[in-house]
């Protein structure tokens, strides 16, 4: 059971002239086990920086980030990270990419059957021996997702993994992510610019303001599963989130 706690976190960067850039300010967020949190906000508001703090790839100036009461100070296999472009190893096949983390931990005695299960779950059966350049962008992203989730992380961080995909492929990968979340009960945090995506996947929507990024509001998603992107309920909730985002911009 994972309980993520972000308390009073600030993050400051410096430009090429040494000037301070306040990226995140006074971030407070708690994420319970099995939640799917969608973080949405304008470009440059610090969404990816927040994910990097949670992953342990970055550290805050002030405040703390912890899991189950333990401070996060470095990356850990218990926190998976899926990047926007997948970052598959081009010299490895799809199967080799998916099993690379397991192999690094367990050597060649890794659980081959588990890899087979995720190849099947991700709809990649028949493409195990293909290289990343030989498959579609959607397949590559599904392989990147499988590579992270096969390690059974307590927390999976998704940094706009569908951002470079076309609309049809994007919807397909969203459905795959939702299926994995339901089956594994893994706590997931998604960063996205897409309001529909945030609503379709998230149990809660975290709305951020322009830089310095602050949490404007945390909104519980009232929509039941399965979710219909064209239903009146979905469209009404979309307008509600859109209004909150516009309000965040006007406030600045």
The DSSP symbol for 70 reads E
Mode of pairing for the β-strands spanning 79-82 and 155-159: parallel
The predicted pLDDT at position 100 comes to: 92
> Strand, coil or helix: what is 123?
coil
Q: Specify the long-range contacts of residues 119-122, CB closer than 8 Å, at least 24 apart.
A: 119/94, 119/95, 119/146, 121/146, 121/179, 121/180, 121/183, 122/146, 122/176
Peptide linkage before 240 cis (omega within 30 of 0): no
Residues whose CB is less than 8 angstroms from the CB of residue 110 and which lie 6 or more positions away in sequence, other chains included: 99, 102, 103
The predicted pLDDT at position 87 comes to: 81
The predicted pLDDT at position 1 comes to: 59
The predicted pLDDT at position 86 comes to: 65
Give the bridge partners for 155, in sequence order.
Answer: 79, 187
Q: What is the pLDDT of residues 16-42, one digit of tens each?
A: 888 888 999 999 999 999 999 999 998
Which domains, from first to last, does the chain contain? 4-251 (3.40.50.300)
Q: Rounded distance, CA 209 to CA 131, Å? A: 40
Q: Rounded distance, CA 200 to CA 40, Å? A: 13
The DSSP symbol for 92 reads S
Intervals of the chain under pLDDT 50: 248-252
Residues whose CB is less than 8 angstroms from the CB of residue 235 and which lie 6 or more positions away in sequence, other chains included: none
Q: Rounded distance, CA 79 to CA 28, Å? A: 19
Q: What is the pLDDT of residues 51-83, one digit of tens each?
A: 999 999 999 999 999 999 999 999 999 999 998
147, with CB counted inside 10 A (0-12, 13-18, 19+), is buried
């Amino acid at each position: 059971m994972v309980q993520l706690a972000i308390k009073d976190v600030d993050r400051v960067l410096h430009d090429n002239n040494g000037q301070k850039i306040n990226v995140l300010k006074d971030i407070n967020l708690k994420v319970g086990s099995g939640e799917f949190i969608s973080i949405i906000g304008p470009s440059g508001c610090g969404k990816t920086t927040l994910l990097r703090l949670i992953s342990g790839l970055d550290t805050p100036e002030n405040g703390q980030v912890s899991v189950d009461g333990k401070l996060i100070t470095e990356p850990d296999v218990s926190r998976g990270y899926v990047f926007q472009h997948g970052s598959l190893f081009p010299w490895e096949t799809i199967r080799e990419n998916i099993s690379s983390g397991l192999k690094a931990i367990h050597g060649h005695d890794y659980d081959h059957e588990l890899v087979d299960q995720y190849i099947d779950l991700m709809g990649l059966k028949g493409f195990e021996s293909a290289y990343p350049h030989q498959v579609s962008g959607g397949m590559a992203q599904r392989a990147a997702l499988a590579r992270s989730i096969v390690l059974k992380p307590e927390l999976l961080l998704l940094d706009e993994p569908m951002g470079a995909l076309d609309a049809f492929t994007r919807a397909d990968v969203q459905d795959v992510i939702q299926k994995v979340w339901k089956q594994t009960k893994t706590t997931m945090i998604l960063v996205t610019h897409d309001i529909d995506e945030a609503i379709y996947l998230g149990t809660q929507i975290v709305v951020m303001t322009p830089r310095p990024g602050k949490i404007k509001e945390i909104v519980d998603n009232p929509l039941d599963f399965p979710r219909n992107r064209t239903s009146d309920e979905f469209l009404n909730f979309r307008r509600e989130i859109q209004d909150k985002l516009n309000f965040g911009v006007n406030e600045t």
